[in-house]
Chains A and B, each alone.
Chain A
Amino acid sequence: MTMETNREAEVRGFHEAKWDEPIIFELSRKGERGISIPEVEKEIEEYVGDGVSVLPENMIRKKPPALPEIAQPRVVRHYLRLSQETLGADINVDIGQGTCTMKYNPKINDVLACSPKVTELHPLQNESTVQGALEIMYKLDLFLREISGFSRFTFQPGGGSHAIFTVASIIRAHHELNGEGDKRDEIITTLLSHPSNAAAPAVKGYKMITIYPNEDGLPDIEALKTAVSERTAGLIVTNPEDTAIFNPRIAEFTKIVHEVGGLCAYDQANANGIIGIVRAVDCGFDLGFFNLHKTFSSPHGCGGPAVGAVGVTEKLVDFLPVPIVDFNGEKYYLNYNVPHTIGKVREFYGVFPVALRAYAWIRSLGAEGIKEVARVAVLNNNYVMKKILKEVKGASVSFPKTKHRIEQVRYSWEQLMKDTGVTTEDVIRRMADFGFHLWTSHHPWIVPQPFTIEPTESYSKDELDEYIAALKKVTEEAYKNPKKVKNAPYRSAIHKIDPSPLNDPEKWAITWRAYLKKRKNWDE
C-alpha cells in the first residue's frame, strides 16, 4: 500500500513495520554466544576460589538452564524489530490507555537516573558510601508524607499490585497483633476500583467482598453496610474510581469500616487528578500507596522497574517492611529496628532510579506545580469529554447522571454497536491504523462496549484534537461502512487475534517451557 504524505490531513498517515520475527527462544542456535567471557586468571582464582565450589551441592544445577543462545547483533536486531511493532508511550498520543496514567516523563530525569553515579551503585554498599542516595530516598519520603498526610513510607514494593499485597500484609499483621488475625478474613473493595485491589489481597488468602456501584456510578453505601462485619479486616479502594467519578462520601465509608474494627487503605496508584488537592488521611485512610511510575515521572508499563510507595499512619509504622531509610541527625542509615515488621516484600529498599526520578520531578515542580499537574489533567480530561460527546457519534459517557469526572472518563460505544455492529475492539483496531493506541477497559464490563481515555497533563490541545479527530474518523467510517472498521487494522503489524485460548487453561502459556509442554496436547 502506498501512502502519500499529506500534512493538511486532520488525521495523520501511519504504517507500522511488520517483521516475521520468531520468539527469542526459536532464534536459539546451540553454542552461539552473546559475550565471550574470558577464563578466570589463575591468580584471581587462587585468591577468590572458582566461585562455584563454595555453593552447597544441592544448589548447583545439574543441567544448564535452557536459555536462548544468540549472538549479540542478532539480539539487538530482534528487539529493535519488535520495538518497531509497538505503539509506545513516546511515539503516540498515549491517552487511550485510560487508568494507566501514560504521561510524558521528562527526559532530564532519565538522564539523572542513567548517570553512572546511579547505575554503578550496589545495594550492598556500605551506608557511608551512599549517603546521597539515602538522603534522596529519605527526602522523597518526607515529600510523600506532605502530599498524603501519612507518617512514613516504604519504597520496597516493586509495583502497584505489589504495594496492595504489602498493604494486605500490614492489615493482617495489625489484626494478628490484636489476636484477630484468623477471625478477620475479609477485605472489601468496590467493583470500579482497580482490579488489583481485589486480586492482591486474595493472594494473601483474604476473601474478597466487592461492592457494586449504584445508578450514579458511586459505590453503594448501603451495600457497604451489608458487607461489614466482625470478619472485616479492611477496605481497599481507589477514589476516584476507574470511571474517574470521585466518591464524595468516602469519609463515611472509612468511618463505617473503622466502626467494625477494620483498617482502610487508599489505592492512589494513579493520583494524577487529585495530587496536592486531596490528602489520604483527611479521607480517613490508615494506609495507602502511590505508584511512582504512574504519577511521579517514571515510565509506566511492562512490569517495572517500578515502585509502589506504601505510606502508613503513625499506628502502623511499626509494621512496615525493613529496612526503612532513616536519619539520626547526622547520617542517613537503613533502619531494621521496626518492632512488628512484616519482614520483606522484596530485596533491599526499593528501585532507587525510580525514587530518584520521583524526587527530581517533585523538586522541579514544587508544591504549586504539583497542584497545577492535577488541575491541568482535570481540565484536559473535561475538554476531551465535552468534545467527544459533542463530535464523536455513537460515543456516550457511563453513568451520565453524574456530571463531574476527575482525570479520565469511562465511555461506552453501546450506541455505535447498536447502530452499526461495530464493537469497542473494532474501533481499537482501526485506531491503530492512524498510529493511536486505544484499549477497552478493565473487566468486568458493566459499562457495555467500554473504553477509557485519560488525557493527563502532558498533551497539548492540538494533540488531543488530533486524537479526537481520529476517533471521529473511525466512527464516521463505522456509520458509512461498518465492514471497513470491522476488518481493521490494515496498517498494523498484527491483524486480529483469537482471544479464546486466553480462556482455556489448556492453551495459555506464560513461559516458553509451559508452551512447549502444552503444545504437545493441542489438536492442531
Chain B
Amino acid sequence: MRKKKVGLIVNPIAGMGGRVGLKGTDGLETLKKAIELGAKPWAEDRAKEALKQLVHLKNKIELITYPKQMGEYTAISCCFSPKVIGTLSGSMTAAEDTKRAAREMRDLGVDLPLFVGGDGTARDIYDAIDEDLVVLGIPAGVKIYSAVYAATPTRAGELAALYLEGKIREVIEAEVMDIDEEKFREGKLSGGLYGYLRIPFQRGYLPGAKSPTSVSERYNQEEIAAEVIENMSDEYYYIIGPGTTTKAIMKRLNLDYCLLGVDLVYKKKLVGKDLNEATLLEKIRKKAKIIVTSIGGQGYIFGRGNQQISPRVIKEVGKDNINIVATKRKIEALHGRPLLVDTGDEELDKQLSGYYRVTVGYGEEIIYKVIYP
C-alpha cells in the first residue's frame, strides 16, 4: 500500500497576540507589538499535541513539512523523520510562506495537509489551494471563527489519524471566516464568509459540529433546496444570501451563482449575481423574499458575511418575507442557542427578533428563536 502523505504547516506566530491581549496577530506591526509585550510562540506546542496522536502511524505515513519553525522542529521533536521542502522568505515567516507551502504540498500530492494557526492561516490555505485537497486545521489562533479547525489540537490529531487510516471517510465543506482584526481589536465584530475548505468529519471532533447527523450535509442541503424551490412563487423576487446551503438552491435551479455573494432570482431565472445593496435595491421591481442561512458557528443570519443584505434591503422586503434555511447539523451545533441578527441598525435588530419558521429539510420546518446580541 502506498504510504499516505501528510503535510504539516505551522504558522509559528499564530496565537501570540492573544496571550498579550491583542486579539490576533495579523500584520507585522501587531506582531512586533506582541513580541514587545512578551508574547512567546505557542503554535509549535499546539502542533506537537496534535502530531503526538499520529506517532503510531509513523511507519505508514510520510510527513512532509516546511523548514524550521514552520513544521520541521515540531516533526523532529515528535520523533518523525520529515521530508522538508521549500525555503523560508525571512526570519519572521509571513502569510506568503503559508500559501507557498500549501501550494507545493498540493503539487506533491499530499493526502492531508494539517495547518496550525487561526482564521488568518485558514484564509491563506484557502487562497492557495481552495477546495483542491482535504485539509484540517489545528487550532492555535486567538479566537477562531472558522469552522475548519478541530476542537483541540489533540482532537485534530485523532481526527487526522482516523481519516488517514480510512476509519472515517465523510468530508464536509467548512467555513473559512474573514474577521477584520483591526475592528475586532476596537471591540467591533465585523466580518464575513471568506470561503470553504474541505475537512474530514466525525462527530465529537469539531467545535460547533459536535453533534452527529444521520443525513450528510449535502443531501440535507439538496432537500432544503427542493423545498424552497417548490414553494417559489412568480410573484416574488428571491434574494439568495451566501453560503453552501442557500447556493444549493441555485445549483438545483441550474443557475450561475456566487458562493460568497448575494444573487437575485426572479421566475427561477438569474437577475443578477454578486449584487451589493445598491444593485439589489435597483433590480427588485416588486415584492421580494430573502433566503438566508446562518453564517459561521455563532448562528448569525444577518450581519456576518451578508452585509449586502443591508438594513435598507431588509426593511424594503419586510420581516415576513425572510425565509431562513439551515441544515440540521448547523442547528444542532447551536445546542439550543438562538440565531442572531446584527445588521448594524439596532432598531431593526429589535424588530427582527422573535420566532421564525426555519426550513431544515424537505417538508420540515422548525420554529426557532432569533435574538440580537
Contacts and interface: CB of A to CB of B under 8 A. Distances in A.
B158 interface: yes
A503 B336 contact: no
Interface string A441-471: 0011111110000000000000000000000
B216 A503 contact: yes
Contact of A449 (B169, B210, B367): B210
Interface string A421-453: 101110000000000000000011111110000
B17 to A, nearest CB: 25
Contacts of A423: 203-204
A120 interface: no
A57 interface: no
Contact of B364 (A210, A424, A496): A210
Nearest to A211: B367
B215 interface: yes
B45 interface: no
Interface string B174-213: 0000000000000000000000000000011000001111
B132 to A, nearest CB: 20
B211 A446 contact: yes
Interface in A269-313: none
Interface stretch (B79-87, B278-286, B327-335): B327-335
A444 B335 CA distance: 10
A446 B365 contact: no
Interface string B214-257: 11100100000000000000000000000000000000000000
B267 interface: no
A208 B214 contact: no
Interface string B312-339: 0000000000000000100110011000
B169 to A, nearest CB: 5
Interface string A203-247: 000111111110100001011101100000000000000000000
B167 interface: yes
A226 B214 contact: no
Contacts of A208: 363-365
B5 interface: no
Interface in A174-217: 191, 198, 202, 206-213, 215
A202 B336 contact: no
B170 interface: yes
Contact of B219 (A227, A446, A448, A505): A505
B335 A448 contact: yes
B289 interface: no
Contacts of A23: none
Nearest to A224: B367
B369 interface: yes
Contacts of B155: 421
Interface residues of B, number: 35
B363 A220 contact: no
Nearest to B210: A448
A446 B214 contact: no
Contacts of A503: 170, 213-216, 219
A504 interface: yes
Nearest to A524: B166
B336 A213 contact: yes
A215 B371 CA distance: 14
A277 to B, nearest CB: 29
A502 interface: yes
A501 B211 CA distance: 17
A350 to B, nearest CB: 30
Contacts of A212: 336, 366-369
A500 interface: yes
B28 interface: no
B131 to A, nearest CB: 19
A227 B211 contact: no
Contacts of B92: none
A168 to B, nearest CB: 13
A417 interface: yes
Interface in B336-373: 336, 354-357, 360, 363-369
Contacts of A207: 363-365
Nearest to B170: A500
B158 A421 contact: yes
B168 interface: yes
B351 to A, nearest CB: 15
A498 interface: yes
B355 A223 contact: yes
Contact of B369 (A220, A425, A443): A220
A499 B167 CA distance: 9
Most buried by A among B357, B360, B363, B367: B367
Contacts of B214: 443, 502-503
A128 to B, nearest CB: 48
A400 to B, nearest CB: 13
Nearest to B220: A503
A224 B367 CA distance: 8
B357 to A, nearest CB: 7
Given A421-B154, A421-B158, A226 B357 contact: yes
Nearest to A198: B364
Interface in B145-174: 152, 154-155, 158, 167-170
Contacts of B210: 445, 448-449
Contacts of A222: 355
A444 B367 contact: no
A445 to B, nearest CB: 4
B204 A417 contact: yes
Given A209-B367, A210-B364, A213-B336, A504 B216 contact: yes
Given A443-B214, A444-B331, A500 B365 contact: no
A215 B211 contact: no
A421 to B, nearest CB: 6
Contacts of A202: 363-364
Given A423-B203, A446-B335, A505-B219, 9 more contacts: A198-B364, A202-B363, A208-B364, A209-B367, A421-B154, A444-B211, A444-B331, A501-B169, A504-B169
23 contacts: A198-B364, A208-B364, A209-B367, A212-B367, A212-B368, A213-B336, A224-B367, A226-B356, A227-B367, A421-B152, A423-B203, A425-B203, A443-B212, A443-B332, A444-B328, A444-B331, A445-B211, A446-B211, A446-B336, A449-B210, A496-B167, A500-B170, A503-B215
Top-6 shortest CB links A-B: A445-B211, A223-B367, A226-B355, A503-B216, A500-B170, A423-B204
Interface of B: 152, 154-155, 158, 167-170, 203-204, 210-216, 219, 328, 331-332, 335-336, 354-357, 360, 363-369
